[in-house]
Amino acid sequence: MKRKTIIMWFRNDLRLHDNPALYEAAKQGDVLPVFIDTSEESIQGIGSAESWWLHHSLEALKRSMKDYQTPLVIRKGRSEEVLQRLIKEVNADAVYFNHSYEPGVYERDQQIINTLNNQGIIARTFHANVLFVPGTVKNKQGNVYKVFTSFWKQVRQQKVERPVPAPEKITMKLPEDFSIGNVSMLNLIPDQQWPEKFHAYWNPGEKGAKERWQDFLLDAIEFYDSKRDMPALEGVSGLSPHLSWGEISPRVIWNQSKEKLDEVSYEKGLGDRYQQIESYLRQIVWRDFAYHQLVAYPHVLTQPLKEEFKSFPWLENVEGLERWKRGKTGYPLVDAGMRELWETGWMHNRIRMITASFLVKHLLIHWLEGANWFRETLVDHDIANNIMGWQWVAGSGFDSSPYFRVFNPILQGEKFDPTGDYVRKWVPEIASLPTKFIFAPWTAPESVLQEHGITLGETYPERIVDHKAGRERALAAYYEMKEK
């Protein structure tokens, strides 16, 4: 009996382990692994930083495929057209792929499935990149949850499927004149030179993801809750970019974390360690919560979830936006975060909240401007997480921070960077200042500034806005909106 020829369509699932579409394809037939650059079909497109990551992740997957003596086929174009050509070239019987939950992509995928089925081509889809399929976790009224705590309480009691192994073998005999393609033809490396420094901080690909996860699981996960808000400490997993491109499965993270949790629960006097790991599981679930909301309310990408925010009086502030992007606001903690982002393609989550709050509240700049900049510069850009985070800070999302909660970047620094080490690392021009002035250099006596070679407005920017005045202006704008 002739074995099926199955096209395995890789998307944001660039891994071999716990890849259900690949696992099933390899069991049932000869497999043609293919990645299609379909960026022209995406609503948002792809930012420069994640484009850099994708290039190196594909190269890593290509190397992994060599262990199976199987090439990774690279194509660019509209997905349905590319798949139709490949089906003809290799006489394929089926196309397998894992679901994407990006608005517009789901509808496109359904159209492809219908077209293929009408042609007699099998199209099978799988869920690989979330713990709980968006839309399946609902409240008693049959609606998706709008409050995270309620969502968490329900899913915490649910079982997550066990991961499937990587295929034992992948076979495929290609026609003699078949073109494999190469990653470089996708032109993913940005013309700007700035992403090249990311190599010093990241190792894209499944191997890099596994190494980072094992290092974190071995030790740091047991201190996660204590350290996760401290940007100067290595207290977080750093898995977000690997999760974004599916180089590691959330099911692997969940199940192995639970195993660690079970180990700890049997040991006496280790309640704190239990809480540390539980806190990490909770953070992993935030990602699923974001996808549930994105699928239920796809307009969230450009519109506030709370209708009243459509009339919010945002300001056009070109200079303010540019100074925020470049880390030149005059607030050291905000500037440190924006410079870390530019240097590494990543920013600590606590600092993301502070920098985002500063943009939308101190500067009254629309949250979409910030979301677009993060999309351009984050290696871990995730369409659901990014938008939910910005709407949370702006106060326009479900279960969001109240708009009248305005982060004070001075007090936040004193609380979460008490030694000033984080600011000193990323804002070296004021690094020698005593800690009591490091978050508000304008409060230092002139003699102290001179002693440390600092001239505000020259060696380090003057404040773009006074904190008290910025807060009052933000609250006035909020109440103006409420009165409309």
In a domain? residue 273: yes
Note whether 23 and 123 are same-domain residues: yes
In a domain? residue 173: no
**Residue 264, CB-side half-sphere exposure with 13 Å CA sphere:** 21
Q: Find out whether 467 is annotated in a ligand binding site.
A: no
| pLDDT of the residue at 399 | 79
CA angle 12–18–20, rounded 5-degree value: 75
In a domain? residue 146: yes
Query: CB neighbours of 3 closer than 8 A, spacing ≥ 6?
Result: 29, 30
Note whether 292 and 333 are same-domain residues: no
- Number of structural domains (the chain) is 3
Query: CB neighbours of 163 closer than 8 A, spacing ≥ 6?
Result: 17, 18, 249, 251, 252, 255
Note whether 358 and 426 are same-domain residues: yes
Note whether 470 and 332 are same-domain residues: yes
Note whether 427 and 450 are same-domain residues: yes
| pLDDT of the residue at 193 | 83
Q: Find out whether 177 is annotated in a ligand binding site.
A: no
Note whether 90 and 135 are same-domain residues: no
Q: Find out whether 380 is annotated in a ligand binding site.
A: yes
Note whether 94 and 143 are same-domain residues: no
In a domain? residue 201: no
Write down which residue in 84, 111, 129 finishes a domain.
Answer: 129
In a domain? residue 323: yes
Residue-number span of the structural domain to which 157 is assigned = 130-162+207-296
* Closest alpha carbon to 331 in 434, 459, 463, 136: 463
Q: Find out whether 13 is annotated in a ligand binding site.
A: no
Beta-ladder partners of 34: 9, 73
Note whether 291 and 384 are same-domain residues: no
The per-residue pLDDT string of the chain (484 residues; one tens digit each, 9 = 90 and over) reads 568 999 999 999 999 999 999 999 999 999 999 999 998 787 778 999 999 999 999 999 999 999 999 999 999 999 999 999 999 999 999 999 999 999 999 899 999 999 999 999 999 999 999 999 999 999 999 999 999 999 999 999 899 999 999 999 999 999 989 999 999 999 999 988 888 899 999 999 999 999 999 999 998 999 999 999 999 999 999 999 999 999 999 999 999 999 998 887 656 555 588 889 999 999 999 999 999 999 999 999 999 999 999 999 999 999 999 999 999 999 999 999 999 999 999 999 999 999 999 999 999 999 999 999 999 999 999 999 999 999 999 999 987 778 788 999 999 999 999 999 999 999 999 999 999 999 999 999 999 999 999 999 999 999 999 999 999 999 999 999 988 7
| pLDDT of the residue at 271 | 58
| pLDDT of the residue at 268 | 52
C-beta of residue 130 within 8 angstroms of C-beta of residue 98: no
Write down which residue in 271, 296, 321 finishes a domain.
Answer: 296
Note whether 336 and 475 are same-domain residues: yes
| pLDDT of the residue at 330 | 99
Note whether 286 and 149 are same-domain residues: yes
Note whether 243 and 327 are same-domain residues: no
User: Quick count: other Cβ atoms within 10 Å of Cβ 196?
Assistant: 11
Q: Find out whether 335 is annotated in a ligand binding site.
A: no
C-beta of residue 42 within 8 angstroms of C-beta of residue 153: no
In a domain? residue 190: no
In a domain? residue 116: yes
Write down which residue in 129, 148, 172 finishes a domain.
Answer: 129
CATH number (domain holding residue 117): 3.40.50.620
CATH number (domain holding residue 266): 1.25.40.80
CATH number (domain holding residue 379): 1.10.579.10
In a domain? residue 182: no
Positive or negative torsion for Cα 168, 163, 101, 352: negative
| pLDDT of the residue at 266 | 56
C-alpha–C-alpha distance, residues 280 and 253, integer Å: 10
Note whether 228 and 340 are same-domain residues: no
